[in-house]
């Protein structure tokens, strides 16, 4: 089963083309990372998959159905803080269920425990640290039990240690969940440690896919020790040689 199928997807904005002719299949149940130099249209690609943007050309199928409007099978974890600041942590977590008209109290409390925020249910987002807010966002997007989880550099703003913990927690959540994850990042190490496959996008504007690299590291993975393994370095070097070229191109264009 293909979770996400992009066929010749192009998206133009006033005056420039963000992504051009992207064709990409993401099989169900896989953890796929998308990497590329900054400004290469990674976020645009994710917004297209979410249905927040419509493609200028081409089509997107989600689990075999043509996508029109918001992608109802997907959850989205944004790069910046997107929690509702006027709702408590518990209400934020429960939001997706409440929008669907489901009784949410019990499940929301379960998720509160699951992301380690017991005792913070009635706090407001401004009272939490950056890492805690990410945990709320994680619970918020996973509680609705989506088939597809889209993540746009969710941990970019966190310090290295918090980030490592959050990456581990995402893997724990995902393992055995059968969910498809599309994870956008500019950090190649993060991409390799988490995913089954890394998709490389070319430098923008008009970026396209230039490479797909399966990651054959065994699971479950120990994120702390993973980076010292020889296979990790082989993969890193292989993908980096491709990424390096695109980064140089992007530098040349923005100079």
Site for other proteins, rule CB under 8 A: 50, 52, 70-72, 74-76, 78, 80-88, 95-96, 99-100, 124-126, 140-141, 144
Q: Which two tokens stand for residue 54?
A: 């419509």
Cα(66)–Cα(47) distance, integer angstroms: 15
Whether residue 220 is preceded by a cis peptide bond, meaning omega within 30 degrees of 0, is yes
The least distance separating other proteins from the CB of residue 133, rounded to whole angstroms, comes to 12
The least distance separating other proteins from the CB of residue 234, rounded to whole angstroms, comes to 37
Q: Which two tokens stand for residue 28?
A: 């169900």
Q: Which CB sits closer to other proteins, 60 or 188? A: 60
The least distance separating other proteins from the CB of residue 52, rounded to whole angstroms, comes to 5
Sign, Cα dihedral of 87, 91, 92, 98: negative
Beta-strand relationship, 180-184 and 31-35: parallel
Q: Which CB sits closer to other proteins, 73 or 249? A: 73
- Residues 147 and 180: beta-carbon distance below 8 Å: yes
Q: Which CB sits closer to other proteins, 37 or 154? A: 154
Q: Which CB sits closer to other proteins, 54 or 70? A: 70
Cα(132)–Cα(48) distance, integer angstroms: 28
Q: Which CB sits closer to other proteins, 141 or 202? A: 141
Q: Which CB sits closer to other proteins, 84 or 248? A: 84
- Residues 25 and 2: beta-carbon distance below 8 Å: yes
The least distance separating other proteins from the CB of residue 96, rounded to whole angstroms, comes to 4
The least distance separating other proteins from the CB of residue 225, rounded to whole angstroms, comes to 35
What are the CB-based long-range contacts (under 8 Å, 24+) for 228-232? 232/192, 232/193
The least distance separating other proteins from the CB of residue 54, rounded to whole angstroms, comes to 14
Q: Where are the alpha helices (DSSP H) in the chain?
A: 42-50, 89-99, 105-114, 130-142, 160-174, 188-194, 223-226, 230-254
């Amino acid at each position: 089963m293909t979770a996400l199928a992009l066929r010749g997807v192009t998206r133009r904005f006033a005056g420039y083309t963000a992504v051009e002719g992207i064709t990409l299949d993401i099989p169900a149940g896989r953890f796929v990372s998308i990497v590329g130099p900054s400004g290469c249209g990674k976020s645009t690609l994710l917004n297209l998959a979410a249905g927040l943007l419509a493609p200028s050309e081409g089509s997107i199928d989600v689990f075999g159905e043509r996508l029109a409007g918001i992608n109802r099978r997907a959850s989205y974890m944004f790069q910046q803080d997107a929690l509702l600041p006027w709702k408590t942590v518990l209400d934020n977590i429960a939001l997706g269920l409440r929008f669907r008209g489901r009784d949410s109290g019990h499940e929301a409390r379960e998720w509160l425990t699951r992301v380690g925020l017991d005792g913070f249910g009635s706090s407001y987002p401004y009272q939490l640290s950056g890492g805690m807010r990410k945990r709320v966002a994680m619970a918020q997007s996973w509680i609705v039990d989506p088939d597809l989880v889209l993540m746009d550099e969710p941990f970019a703003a966190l310090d290295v240690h918090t980030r490592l913990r959050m990456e581990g927690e995402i893997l724990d959540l995902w393992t055995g969940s059968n969910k498809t994850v599309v994870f956008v990042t500019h950090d190649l190490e993060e991409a390799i440690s988490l995913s089954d496959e890394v998709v490389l996008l070319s430098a923008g504007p008009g970026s396209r896919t230039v490479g797909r690299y399966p990651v054959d590291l065994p699971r479950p993975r120990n994120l702390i020790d993973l980076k010292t393994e020889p296979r990790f370095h082989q993969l890193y070097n292989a993908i980096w040689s491709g990424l390096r070229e695109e980064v140089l191109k992007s530098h040349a264009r923005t100079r």
